[in-house]
């Protein structure tokens, strides 16, 4: 048996019994996936996924970073080099390589997600290994050819009530348009991720600004035109269901410059390469501008700071972005957010959802901030911490100060479509285990735990993201 019905619950019988009971009441709730990176083309075109390697290994940085750390070359996993969007791939060879190294994932969430997927979607009962690699490959390949494994069929099978993809302002939202016209019932919305036109260090930033002007019909060579372009493009995104924006800055720094200074800074960053400090200040200012627009248009704002992107120079040069070489770094929130909070922190009709890759900030900064400011909420444990221990620490370190109701439930943040049920299942189990622990230590009554379990699994995400 690949997955056990009691997985992730405490082994202590009393706590396990309560966790089982809590989990039973939330297991089958619909999935709200308010933040993620699945490809809207999947839902629009509803084509079959090509093969197990291309589906599971090639796009999953959790998988290939681990294999790479142990000496497997990215080329041998089918990762395309820059400029080669359709590399030759021997899917079976890649799959075997992955299967031979499956022991590397012992103790990791990736292992749990994969086993859950292999068991529940494909019916496997034996572990993936060098010995079972071909059987896995053949059976998954066969399944992927059937209508039941098309994206829309899976969407229903996964019981997804709403899912958000993430697009740049420069994206024409073509797939979302296809989707809309298709009349399909599934709710797939976009989200506004303006980093390419907000971050002066983004590749091609100044070209992006020009393109941004063309798309929106605004004069993005001026500060007011540039802001207007954002306003229009946010409205365009809202037409395609967007209820949120997302900001992936290196730090959480915000600024609230006088208008003239902001304008002068924009002139600089929009016309030439600037010093790191100026790029940082511009990003900082833009978080405050985005918050101002959110108050106008009601879009929820997500801040995902603290990743040192593309840390590995050689890998970045050869393979480009998102190659498993993004490394967290220390992130300050207390000073960084102050300019934004001084201006908008007390707004009750603004929701800013904070994420972190620096777990030290949970109890020291994030819970105290979210436990005070009406505008702030805490996003779930993110990325490397989207894991059983990571989620447990998140609850243990935030609940006592911020409670449950300044958090927003779970989001899967994934591009690995087939892992979505596994990820939500993990979050529901870990939260139920946490709640069961509160109940067995008499810190929470069981009827309350049931209510909270439901809130964490479903209601809070739906409400916070207005879905």
| Beta partners for residue 245, in sequence order | 192, 301
CB of 320 to a copy of itself, least distance (A): 15
Q: Cβ distance 301 to 244 under 8 Å? A: yes
Alpha carbon distance 423, 439 (integer Å): 24
Q: Which of residues 424-443 bind a copy of itself (CB under 8 A)?
A: 437-438, 440-443
In the complex with a copy of itself, the residue whose CB is nearer, 146 or 317, is 317
Q: Is residue 296 helix, strand or coil?
A: helix
Q: Is residue 62 helix, strand or coil?
A: helix
CB of 185 to a copy of itself, least distance (A): 34
In degrees, rounded to 5, the angle at the alpha carbon of residue 163 between the alpha carbons of residues 63 and 170 is 85
| Beta partners for residue 303, in sequence order | 247, 354
Q: Cβ distance 356 to 366 under 8 Å? A: yes
Site string for a copy of itself, 126-165 (x = CB under 8 A): -x--------------------------------------
CB of 178 to a copy of itself, least distance (A): 36
**What interhelical angle do 205-216 and 259-271 show, nearest 10?**
110
In the complex with a copy of itself, the residue whose CB is nearer, 99 or 269, is 99
Q: Does 177 bind a copy of itself (CB under 8 A)?
A: no
Outline where 355-441 has alpha helix (H): 360-361, 367-370, 388-402, 420-440
What are phi and psi for residue 301, nearest 5 degrees?
A: -110, 125
Among 28, 85, 86, 106, binds a copy of itself (CB under 8 A): 106
Candidates 45-53, 284-292, 332-340, 458-466; binding stretch for a copy of itself (CB under 8 A): 332-340
In the complex with a copy of itself, the residue whose CB is nearer, 182 or 310, is 310
Q: Does 305 bind a copy of itself (CB under 8 A)?
A: no
Please tell me the count of residues contacting a copy of itself according to CB under 8 A.
92
Among 88, 181, 260, 314, binds a copy of itself (CB under 8 A): 314
In the complex with a copy of itself, the residue whose CB is nearer, 167 or 280, is 280
Q: Does 104 bind a copy of itself (CB under 8 A)?
A: yes
Q: Does 460 bind a copy of itself (CB under 8 A)?
A: no
In the complex with a copy of itself, the residue whose CB is nearer, 178 or 363, is 363
The label of the residue with tokens 């009406």 reads 374
CB of 124 to a copy of itself, least distance (A): 14
Q: Does 244 bind a copy of itself (CB under 8 A)?
A: no
DSSP 87-105: ----HHHHHHHHHHTGGGG
Q: Does 255 bind a copy of itself (CB under 8 A)?
A: no
What are phi and psi for residue 328, nearest 5 degrees?
A: -60, 160
The label of the residue with tokens 């039941």 reads 148
């Amino acid at each position: 048996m690949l997955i056990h019905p009691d997985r992730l619950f405490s082994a202590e019988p009393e706590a396990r019994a309560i966790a089982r009971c809590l989990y039973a009441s939330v297991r089958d709730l619909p999935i709200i996936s308010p933040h993620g990176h699945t490809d809207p083309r999947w839902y629009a075109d509803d084509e079959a996924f090509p093969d197990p390697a291309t589906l599971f290994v090639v796009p999953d940085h959790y998988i290939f970073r681990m294999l790479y750390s142990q000496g497997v070359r990215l080329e041998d996993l089918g990762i395309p080099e820059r400029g080669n969007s359709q590399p030759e791939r021997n899917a079976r060879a890649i799959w075997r390589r992955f299967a031979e190294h499956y022991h590397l994932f012992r103790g990791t969430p990736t292992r749990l997600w994969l086993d859950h997927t292999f068991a529940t979607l494909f019916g496997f009962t034996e572990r993936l290994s060098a010995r079972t690699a071909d059987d896995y490959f053949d059976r998954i390949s066969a399944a992927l050819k059937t209508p039941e494994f098309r994206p829309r069929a899976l969407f229903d099978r996964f019981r997804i009530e709403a899912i958000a993809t993430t697009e740049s302002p420069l994206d024409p939202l073509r797939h979302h348009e296809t989707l809309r016209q298709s009349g399909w019932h599934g709710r797939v919305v976009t989200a506004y991720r303006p980093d390419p036109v907000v971050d002066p260090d983004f590749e091609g930033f100044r070209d992006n600004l020009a393109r941004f002007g063309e798309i929106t019909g605004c004069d993005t060579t001026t500060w007011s035109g540039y802001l207007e372009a954002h306003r229009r493009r946010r409205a365009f995104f809202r037409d395609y269901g967007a209820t949120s924006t997302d900001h992936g800055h290196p730090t959480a720094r915000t600024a609230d410059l006088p208008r003239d200074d902001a304008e002068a800074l924009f002139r600089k960053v929009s016309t030439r390469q600037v010093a790191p400090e100026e790029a940082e200040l511009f990003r900082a200012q833009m978080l405050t501008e985005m918050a101002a627009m959110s108050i106008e248009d009601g879009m929820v704002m997500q801040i995902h700071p603290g990743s040192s992107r593309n840390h590995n120079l050689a890998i970045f040069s050869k393979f480009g972005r998102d190659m498993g070489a993004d490394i967290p770094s220390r992130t300050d929130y207390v000073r960084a957010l102050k300019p934004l909070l001084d201006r908008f922190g007390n707004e009750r009709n603004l929701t800013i959802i904070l994420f972190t890759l620096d777990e030290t900030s949970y109890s020291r900064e994030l819970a105290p901030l979210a436990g005070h400011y009406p505008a702030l909420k805490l996003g779930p444990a993110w990325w490397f911490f989207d894991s059983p221990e990571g989620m447990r620490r998140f609850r243990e370190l935030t609940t006592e100060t911020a409670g449950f109701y300044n958090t927003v439930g779970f989001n899967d943040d994934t591009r690995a479509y087939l892992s979505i049920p596994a990820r939500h299942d993990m979050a529901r189990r870990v939260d139920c285990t946490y709640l069961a622990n509160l109940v067995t230590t008499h810190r929470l009554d069981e009827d309350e735990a049931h209510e909270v379990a439901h809130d964490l699994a479903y209601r809070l995400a739906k409400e916070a993201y207005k879905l």
